[in-house]
Amino acid sequence: MSSYLRVLRHRDFKFLFLGQSASAVGDQVVIVALALYITERTGSPTDLGLVLAAQALPLIALVLFGGVWADRLPRHRIMTVADYARALLHGVLAASIVLGGASVAEMIVIEALFGAARAFFQPAYSGLLPQTVPDAEVQDASALSSTTENLAILVGPALGAAMVLTIGAGAAFALDAATFLISAELLRHMRPRARGDVAQERTTVIADLRAGWREVRSRTWVWATIAAFTVAVLCAYAQWYALAPLVSKQLYGSAGVFGLLESVAGGGAVVGALVGIHWRPRRPMVVGLLLTLVWPIQTLAFAGAAPLAVVVVLAFCAGLGFTLFEVWWSTALVRHIPPQALSRVSAYDWMGSLALLPLGFAIAGPLAAALGARTVLTVGAVIALAMLALALVPRGTRALVDDGGEEERAVGSAEQLADDVAIEAGGEAEIAHVDALVRVVHERGGL
């Protein structure tokens, strides 16, 4: 708990923390509210998939440009504008629902614009957090932020379900709009420190994108993990959010069980974030990826109609493991990526991990109609399990060591120098490895 108190003494982190804590609650309320509203209004998984895809497509298309501008401009200013835009969009959607019900077409337009704003927000946030605390306290700050984000996952889905079923979906979207306004106002008053930023020669956007890609491809543990999650998100994450509410109603008698599982996963995630404050495994990527394997296992149990108590326990463990992975992943990026390129690398992380998400949402309904929703969830979970296991294969992933302090940074710099030399001397061979993994991604994504 002393770590919590230490990072909260930093004024800028406190503002960032409070704003994102409020916004996280609204985000989780809306995730469930959106699923329940469309399920109750049209009963069509395809409609839900289209709305979710509408938000994801602009996010993927624009997130790399968001990363470039976040490495050029004050990151908190970009986030402020994005939060005001999202507050306006969900405020309009709330009013539309209250005044007679938003059509699927209206929701698609609003969520597409929402995704565009998010594309500029997320890379800026990844680069801003380490500017609000000393470098030695980055993992503490990341763990604390994850704690509140996952408390939101614990509370938000249940609150969202209750609001939709009692007051109405309009109130849920209005609450989300209000949280974005709170976040924007707090961001306006931040004065983050410079972190390793040096005056850079003015370059083109394309040149900046290429420089960011060089940072990614020179680290096998980065691109291999992103590639694995690209497939896992397509096959497991997208299918879960598009089909789980319907399957929940079929197998367990209520779509509310979906909200329960999301809340339980949030509880596990809170515990994971608390554990992440003090647990620093020597090989964080290996331990983190092993823990994420519980996520597809939970989906397998759910689709297999396992006893609800078993699925609940697995949901808790999945939330715990995934959050620990996120804490260690974000900390590794901060420690091993140059500060002036951090937002661009984060953007590649977002773009790569979510590249096939719209396709996943779009095909969920048709696949469920042809094969059955339970079959789609089961096959998707098996593929995700395999891909997350494959992420452990590269030597760079298994060799990434966290000794803490200067020794870790020295090892990381030595490994990076070796990687850079390998790319310079044998670039084609390295690219061939990337292409091989990409082929696996496409082969499995074509299921």
Give the span between the Cα atoms of 118 and 99, in whole angstroms.
26
For residue range 28-45, list pLDDT tens digits in order.
888 888 888 888 788 777
Q: Are 126 and 342 within 8 A, CB to CB?
A: yes
Give the span between the Cα atoms of 80 and 62, in whole angstroms.
17
Task: Specify the pTM.
Answer: 0.70
For residue range 354-393, list pLDDT tens digits in order.
778 778 888 888 999 899 999 999 999 999 999 999 999 9
Instruction: Compute the residue count for the chain.
Output: 447
For residue range 10-25, list pLDDT tens digits in order.
899 999 999 988 888 8
For residue range 92-139, list pLDDT tens digits in order.
999 998 888 788 889 999 999 999 999 999 899 988 988 888 877 888
Give the span between the Cα atoms of 427 and 155, in whole angstroms.
48
- Output the CA–CA distances (angstroms, integers) from residue 295 to 170, 203, 245, 347, 397, in the order listed: 31, 42, 17, 24, 20
Domains of the chain, each with CATH number or no CATH: 2-189+205-445 (1.20.1250.20)
- Output the CA–CA distances (angstroms, integers) from residue 134 to 7, 141, 283, in the order listed: 9, 10, 23
